[in-house]
């Protein structure tokens, strides 16, 4: 029990002694911009389903899947250019 108490005290006091980010960062005049878009590819898969309580066990072979990015119209399908 004493070992458990000592472990909990040490664990709770750790943040008091850790100063990993004590330097004040100067961020004046900085700008962060992020732009991204994904396209995923999948291979055919075998899906195995096992339900012992229902006495079911079956395999779906060569199941095909596809990416559904959700942006089918608009800015993501037209090239961006500066006139």
Residue 25 confidence (pLDDT): 72
**Helix, strand, or coil here: 52?**
coil
What stretches in the chain show pLDDT beneath 50? Answer: none
Distance CA 20, CA 31 (A): 24
The neighbouring-strand residues paired with 48 are 59
CA distances from 36 to 33, 64, 68, 74 (A): 10, 26, 16, 15
Task: Report pTM.
Answer: 0.36
Q: Would you state the pLDDT for residue 9?
A: 86
The pLDDT value given to residue 70: 66
What's the token pair of residue 4? 């458990």
Q: What is the pLDDT of residue 11?
A: 81
Q: What is the pLDDT of residue 28?
A: 80
């Amino acid at each position: 029990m004493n070992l458990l108490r000592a472990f909990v005290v040490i664990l709770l006091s750790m943040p008091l002694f850790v100063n990993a980010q004590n330097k004040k960062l100067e961020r004046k005049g900085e700008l962060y911009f992020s732009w991204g878009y994904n396209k995923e590819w999948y291979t055919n898969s075998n899906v195995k389903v096992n339900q012992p309580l229902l006495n079911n066990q079956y395999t779906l072979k060569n199941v095909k899947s596809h990416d559904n990015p959700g942006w089918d119209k608009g800015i993501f399908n037209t090239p961006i250019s500066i006139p």
